[in-house]
Amino acid sequence: MQKIAESPLSLEPGDHYGNGGVVTKLEAQIAQLLGKEAAVFMPSGTMAQQIALRIYADESGINQVAFHPTCHLHIYEQMAYSELHHLEGVLLGNPEALFTLQDLESVQGPLSSLLIELPQRVIGGQLPTWEELTAICDYARAKEIKLHMDGARLWECAPFYNRTYAEIAAPFESVYVSFYKILGALPGAALAGPASLIEKARIWQRRHGGNLHQQSPAAISAILGMEHHLPLIPRYVEKAREIASILSKFEEIEVIPKTPPTNMMHLKFGIPKEALEKAVIQIAEEDKVFFPLFLSDDCRTELTVGEAVLDFNANATEYLFSKLLNSNRIIN
Amino acid sequence: MQKIAESPLSLEPGDHYGNGGVVTKLEAQIAQLLGKEAAVFMPSGTMAQQIALRIYADESGINQVAFHPTCHLHIYEQMAYSELHHLEGVLLGNPEALFTLQDLESVQGPLSSLLIELPQRVIGGQLPTWEELTAICDYARAKEIKLHMDGARLWECAPFYNRTYAEIAAPFESVYVSFYKILGALPGAALAGPASLIEKARIWQRRHGGNLHQQSPAAISAILGMEHHLPLIPRYVEKAREIASILSKFEEIEVIPKTPPTNMMHLKFGIPKEALEKAVIQIAEEDKVFFPLFLSDDCRTELTVGEAVLDFNANATEYLFSKLLNSNRIIN
């Protein structure tokens, strides 16, 4: 608590409709961190990303935008990009893998923008190599396609690329980042990019109903979340690799991707959902550890490694998953 | 503080994307208070109202919607109703007065919905009589025009109509209410209406980017704001009338409307802006009272009477405004 009391935050006034105080401070911090001219705080990434793509479509007069089939805009936003903004989505590649330069090259007709999600969450947090990413971005730029990054989990990509956030963001015109996921803050997002884009984005934010009377509580929590979690992220990623390596020894678990580039992965279990759910309760009771599994129908779950998991050593991981699978043997 | 500790709120779990916990509790409370089947919490009224009007337009296949020329949608939302939702606004009456039944009757072509703001903020918080309001609503219903209330300040209307919130809301299909104004809560709004409407509104809320990961802090502050302020509102309105009556004696001040029906009014000063701004500083220094004037170019300001003003008796009001006008005489 000492840190908060000592923080210059305690001297900042509140904002008025996102103007001034800690909100302006957070926006400046994000712009600097991502190496962009400006940034705007928004209540959600859903809002921020639609807005960026809409602006690119209006500027170019082209309503086709490209993204992966598991893009947040395509599967989690009730088709707002089409219903609200009349954009047409072009799906790149197949839903189970990252799209490739070849997938992009095969698109018919012009595109106003290309959205790249780093990492691609729905397929277990996969990341293209830096070379593949650069090749895709170079191609898009040559075709005058605006590049937008869905950086909901950009914070978790830096160890894999061994580059700063600004270096990873450099090929992109605009970047969205989120504050309430690994950073543990109240809901909130930011869109960063050229000053002219951010100025237009503020108008669209107002239109979306996202220019709220007071954003300071969310902005303060975002600043504190970055202060606390960003330095720990390399450790989360390292711990995720350790866990993935242990779990890959169980024949009943498929780890996707095999070597997680970030702190997230998917686990696909080869035993019945009911057995797992029963084991979760037993482990919670006996070991005081709760697995929030949220299993899909095909027994797949997302595992994100955060601060709470840092204290689990390899033995504990092996013991707990062994018990979860109701198995005493480890397949090596 | 005792009240908060004792409150059942402390036992409520948090929400997950607006689902469960105090958010669901707040929605049930609002639906009941407004006598509607259901309600949904949203980050802003800008979002809530566009969504209601869009649903009515889609249901009827009519994109014309009617409202007063000073409607929030028309002057404060960067024309989102047209830019985002492709609705066409029909402006009723002139900007300086309430619109009348006659204004509505003279509309050419069909309307999907009619928005009525109670009270009409930009003209000083005016309210139609119950008879006029009822006549307008009856006409709209007969024409199958859906009635939507902009109830940003509905809380402040009950004393004038001497009716419950549910009674005032009864003629309307849907009602938007705000939590961060007189209730002093964090930003937030609710849309109440038939269950089928609210179900559709949740989909549009997602599309707008307003279905946030966690709404509990805002919902808790809304519940506490209602608990604290709603019982005091008759006193705010009474105090506003006392102040209006005192101010009407100053020849340099025009009170709009002459007899405020709610706790708000506009003041138009007949002396230079600079003189007023100088007096504000002097009064702040000498009397430790700050007038947040926010004067328009024609020296007009909005005065809202809230809790802080309840302690000002008639003598204090007369003294402070006399000093603000730099005048020792009261014109009687």
A84·B207 Cβ contact <8 A: yes
Residues in CB range of B317: below 8 A, 6 or more apart: B242, B243, B246, B247
Distances (CA, A) of A64 to A54, A71, A94, B40: 10, 15, 18, 33
Q: What is the nearest CA distance from B16 to chain A, expressed in angstroms?
A: 11
Give chain A's mean pLDDT.
Answer: 94
What confidence score (pLDDT) does residue B7 get?
Answer: 58
Higher pLDDT, A2 or A23: A23
Percent of all residues in chain B with a pLDDT value above 70, rounded to a whole number: 95
Distance, in Å, from the CA atom of B268 to the CA atom of B300, rounded to the nearest integer, reads: 4
**Amino acid in the structure at residue B303:** L
Structure tokens at A130: 């830096």
Distance, in Å, from the CA atom of B75 to the CA atom of B290, rounded to the nearest integer, reads: 29
Q: What is the nearest CA distance from B162 to chain A, expressed in angstroms?
A: 30
For the residues of B196-221, what is the DSSP string, one character each? HHHHHHHHHHHHHT---S--HHHHHH
Give the mean pLDDT of B88-113: 97
- Residues in chain A with CB shorter than 8 Å from the CB of B23 are none
What confidence score (pLDDT) does residue B11 get?
Answer: 57
Q: CB distance from B184 to chain A under 8 Å?
A: no
**B144 φψ region: left (φ > 0), alpha (ψ -120 to 50), beta (else):** left
**Of A45, A77, A207, which is closest to B207 when you measure between CB atoms?**
A77
Q: CB distance from A84 to chain B under 8 Å?
A: yes
Give chain B's mean pLDDT.
Answer: 94
A47·B207 Cβ contact <8 A: no
The 10s digit of each residue's pLDDT in B229-262 is: 999 999 999 999 999 999 999 999 999 999 999 9
| Closest of B230, B216, B174 to residue B59, by C-alpha | B174
The 10s digit of each residue's pLDDT in A36-70 is: 999 999 999 999 999 999 999 999 999 999 999 99
A44·B80 Cβ contact <8 A: no
A186·B214 Cβ contact <8 A: yes
The 10s digit of each residue's pLDDT in A21-39 is: 999 999 999 999 999 999 9
What confidence score (pLDDT) does residue B10 get?
Answer: 58
- Comparing A73-82, A275-284, B10-19, which segment has the lowest mean pLDDT? B10-19
**Of B50, B187, B203, which is closest to A212 when you measure between CB atoms?**
B187
Give this prediction's pTM: 0.94
- Comparing A180-184, A285-289, A312-316, A324-328, which segment has the lowest mean pLDDT? A324-328
**Of B207, B212, B213, which is closest to A83 when you measure between CB atoms?**
B207
Distance, in Å, from the CA atom of A273 to the CA atom of A275, rounded to the nearest integer, reads: 6
> Interface pTM (ipTM) of the complex?
0.93
User: A244, A260 in Cβ contact below 8 A?
Assistant: yes
Q: What is the nearest CA distance from B83 to chain A, expressed in angstroms?
A: 8
Percent of all residues in chain B with a pLDDT value above 90, rounded to a whole number: 87
| Closest of B38, B43, B19 to residue B28, by C-alpha | B38
Give the mean pLDDT of B159-171: 98
What confidence score (pLDDT) does residue B8 get?
Answer: 55
What confidence score (pLDDT) does residue B293 get?
Answer: 84
B212·A78 Cβ contact <8 A: no
Distances (CA, A) of A28 to A32, A33, A38, B43: 6, 9, 7, 24
The 10s digit of each residue's pLDDT in A195-233 is: 999 999 999 999 999 999 999 999 999 999 999 999 999
Q: CB distance from B74 to chain A under 8 Å?
A: no
Residues in CB range of B37: below 8 A, 6 or more apart: B31, B193, B194, B195, B198
* Structural element, H or E, at residue A201: helix A195-208
What confidence score (pLDDT) does residue B6 get?
Answer: 56
B77·A217 Cβ contact <8 A: no
